Chains A and B, each alone.
Chain A
Amino acid sequence: MKRTLAILLTLTMLTVTACGGGSSSPAETTAAAGAESAKTQSAEAENAETQSAEAENAETKANETENAETAAAQSITYPVTVTDQIGREVTIEKEPETLVSGYYISTSLLIALGLKDRLTGIETKAGSRNIYHLSAPEIIGLPSVGTAKEFDLEGCAALEPDLIVLPAKLKDVIPSLEELGLTVIAVNPEDKALLEEAVTLLGTATNTMDRAASLLAFHDEQLEPLTAALSGTDQPTVCLTGNSSFLSVAGPAMYQNSLIEQAAGVNAASDITEDYWADISYEQLLAWNPDYIILAADAEYSVDSVLQDENLRGCKAVDNGNVYQFPNAIEAWDSPVPSSILGSMWLASVLHGDTYPEDNWKQAAADYYETFYSFTPDLDNLYTDAE
């Protein structure tokens, strides 16, 4: 879809240029391009630098992940220099005693690393995160430093934390915070590999590599038996629908696609090229005719609204009542969180209940939350009441 949009944009530009009716001559264009070139070159250089730093970073992190278990036995010696997920080298002088996190995934990771007591400020709307209520209710009342849209620079600076963890989206506020003498690392856990990087990064920065390593190991420990149990089973087609509407679906380029594949399903939206939620029509959904429709954990609409939509009559998933929602009472397992393997396991039990009973994921979920979040989850009530 991006390609289509790019073509459209080019067409629009061509139209506008054509309508300019030769108001800018090629010479002018060249001159203008020349004037811009210095800027462009420096931007390109910067970009190339970032890219090479990122590549280097990815390599380093891959090594770090491989060596995670070795690192488990080692503790970090400060000062330590880490490369964060937007390619910046950051030196942390001493083990951070106070932390601020401006993003719920990093906050959740810090809790999992056993650092909830060191948090002094977190993102806004913390009260809406069930995982905080269950594992660290005391952090909900902490001062808020804003969201990725509206960051509270002064509020964050006033807390004077030893380390600030921000999402990559907030990279523009980092220079201002550093000018104030604060240490900031940016995380960008947008997919599984980046999430693993983020776990290692936070583990290194906060001297919690042992917990970070076991957090990373949890995923692989669960994946192997899951894959083994599902090998050779029939693969039903699954349409994974988004938060805002069931006419918004996850294509193969999205993180959610891996959940479907790990659960031995086939993504019905396989011809979607978009790497974000793609909007489709009723007709498209009927044409795909998936065996299952699975709603995102945070869907604004209910399973019933899909089952009762008369425009979906004739769709196998709806006719057979195979419409389910990812559990949401603890956290959204369909988003890139360390527990997302539980999402694949839950989905496997939905798609292949006979060969993969739900006890599998329930046991794993109980172990996971008891180990990393210090609470016993209520796995009989998987859904919060609709708002």
Chain B
Amino acid sequence: MKMYPNTKAAKFFPALALLAAAGLLSLLVGKYPLSLAKLLAGDEMQTQVFLTLRLPRSLMAVLGGFALGAAGYVFQTVFCNPLAAPDMIGVSSGASAGAAFAILFLSGSPLAVTASSFLGGLLAVGIALGLASAVRGQYFSGRGTYSAGNGTIVLAGIAVHSLAQTILMILKLTADPERQLASIEYWIMGSLSAITLRQIPFYCAVCVAGLTGIFLLHRQIVLLSVEESEARMLGVPVGKMRLLVLFLATLTVASVISVTGVISFIGLLAPHIARLLTRDNRLPALALSGLMGGFLLTLADILARSAASAELPVSIFTSLLGAPFLLYLILNGKGDRNHDG
């Protein structure tokens, strides 16, 4: 496969510019009437709203979308499956169960819900990956060099996902329908409306750390998508690397959705859009997955806060914006592919 650096750059910078523009627009749109003149004049209320509410929300949309897109790329590449998404190994359902638990049994305050859903997501994936690696150990002792691959991880993930869904269902049944159930449902729908400055520093730091890890390991991630024996020959410790990469991707996703609630489609759509644009599955695709994810979520959040008098769940717009764009690229891309090929 040839690299086309100029073409890549030609796709990368417009995407970066789009994300920057969306981020800027996101700072300008909101229910509180902020004005640049008053902000610059140091109006206390305007500064407070901008710094503690508007800026954190925009930042979370840009970073969160970037993280979901990049993590989606990791899952699709590692599992060699175009339909793979972060929830495949239980992170969203674990986080949802964690959030529901906090709404029911802890104070229900935003900080408790965020922490509990973060731990729930990590716990679910920790169990799934732990189970998968335990199975691998048995295969090692029984069959020498055989290593359980993606199949085991996916199976363990499905088991944990179902278990987390069951726990969530039980928690919902226990919930008071007039109070807690609505909170749980709304959390699951995903929204950036309640994000405040105090809530996000830790999760942003975790997210950035996870993303840094993913970008440092970008070569190994691509190698995980080739034949296992080939990857071994190229010096990749496949089993360990797969677990590490999936853990990093989970960490970034959990750090985002624990703050925002479940956000659908970005992890699935952004990597496809990126690959269609770059015709590549390497670093440029990873970077572009992140940029497209950030762009989609930021734009979706702008609409979620401004389309109606009340706040709307952001997932409505992520799929509404992402799906047509993806389809356009698929339909429009056929000629290109033939041409390139």
Instruction: Please list 22 pairs of residues, one from A and one from B, whose beta carbons are closer than 8 Å in the complex, sorted by A's number.
Output: A1-B312, A4-B308, A5-B316, A15-B320, A19-B323, A243-B178, A243-B179, A244-B179, A244-B183, A251-B309, A272-B310, A279-B186, A279-B193, A280-B193, A283-B30, A283-B31, A287-B31, A300-B183, A301-B109, A310-B52, A311-B52, A313-B48
In angstroms, Cα B30 to Cα A247, docked, is 15
In angstroms, Cα B172 to Cα A149, docked, is 11
A147 and B180 within 8 A (CB): no
- Interface contacts (Cβ under 8 Å), in number, total 114
A300 and B108 within 8 A (CB): yes
Say how far B298's CB is from chain A's closest CB, in angstroms: 16
In angstroms, Cα B191 to Cα A201, docked, is 42
A281 and B311 within 8 A (CB): yes
Chain B residues within an 8 Å CB radius of A311 = 52-53, 196, 198
B49 and A274 within 8 A (CB): no
B174-202 interface mask toward A, CB cutoff 8 Å, 1 = contact, 0 = none? 00111110110010000101101010000
Say how far A14's CB is from chain B's closest CB, in angstroms: 9
In angstroms, Cα B109 to Cα A310, docked, is 14
In angstroms, Cα B317 to Cα A11, docked, is 11
Chain A residues within an 8 Å CB radius of B323 = 15, 19
Q: Tell me, yes or no, whether B146 is within 8 Å of chain A by CB.
A: no
**5 nearest A-B pairs in the assembled complex, by CB-CB distance:** A278-B310, A284-B31, A283-B32, A244-B183, A243-B179
B309 and A310 within 8 A (CB): no
Chain A residues within an 8 Å CB radius of B341 = none
In angstroms, Cα B323 to Cα A18, docked, is 12
In angstroms, Cα B309 to Cα A278, docked, is 9
Q: Tell me, yes or no, whether A282 is within 8 Å of chain B by CB.
A: yes
Which of A248, A274, A300, A305 has a CB less than 8 Å from the CB of B309? A274
Q: Tell me, yes or no, whether B144 is within 8 Å of chain A by CB.
A: no
A279 and B311 within 8 A (CB): yes
Chain A residues within an 8 Å CB radius of B320 = 8, 11-12, 15
B48 and A298 within 8 A (CB): no
Nearest opposing residue in chain B for A21, CB measure: B331
Chain B residues within an 8 Å CB radius of A274 = 309-310
Nearest opposing residue in chain B for A9, CB measure: B316
B53 and A282 within 8 A (CB): yes
A1 and B308 within 8 A (CB): yes
B311 and A280 within 8 A (CB): yes
Q: Tell me, yes or no, whether A277 is within 8 Å of chain B by CB.
A: yes
| Interface size of B in residues (CB-CB distance below 8 Å) | 41
Which of B48, B54, B109 has a CB less than 8 Å from the CB of A305? B109
Nearest opposing residue in chain A for B313, CB measure: A279
Q: Tell me, yes or no, whether B3 is within 8 Å of chain A by CB.
A: no
Beyond contacts A244-B182, A281-B305: 18 other A-B pairs, Cβ-Cβ < 8 A, are A4-B312, A5-B316, A11-B320, A148-B177, A149-B177, A243-B182, A273-B308, A278-B310, A279-B311, A280-B310, A280-B311, A281-B57, A282-B193, A283-B53, A286-B49, A300-B108, A310-B52, A311-B198
Say how far A143's CB is from chain B's closest CB, in angstroms: 20
Chain B residues within an 8 Å CB radius of A242 = 182
Q: Tell me, yes or no, whether A141 is within 8 Å of chain B by CB.
A: no
A311-327 interface mask toward B, CB cutoff 8 Å, 1 = contact, 0 = none? 10110000000000000
Q: Tell me, yes or no, whether A245 is within 8 Å of chain B by CB.
A: yes
In angstroms, Cα B57 to Cα A287, docked, is 17
Say how far B259's CB is from chain A's closest CB, in angstroms: 14
In angstroms, Cα B32 to Cα A281, docked, is 9
Q: Tell me, yes or no, whether B142 is within 8 Å of chain A by CB.
A: no
Nearest opposing residue in chain B for A279, CB measure: B311
Q: Tell me, yes or no, whether B329 is within 8 Å of chain A by CB.
A: no
Q: Tell me, yes or no, whether B307 is within 8 Å of chain A by CB.
A: yes
B308 and A281 within 8 A (CB): no
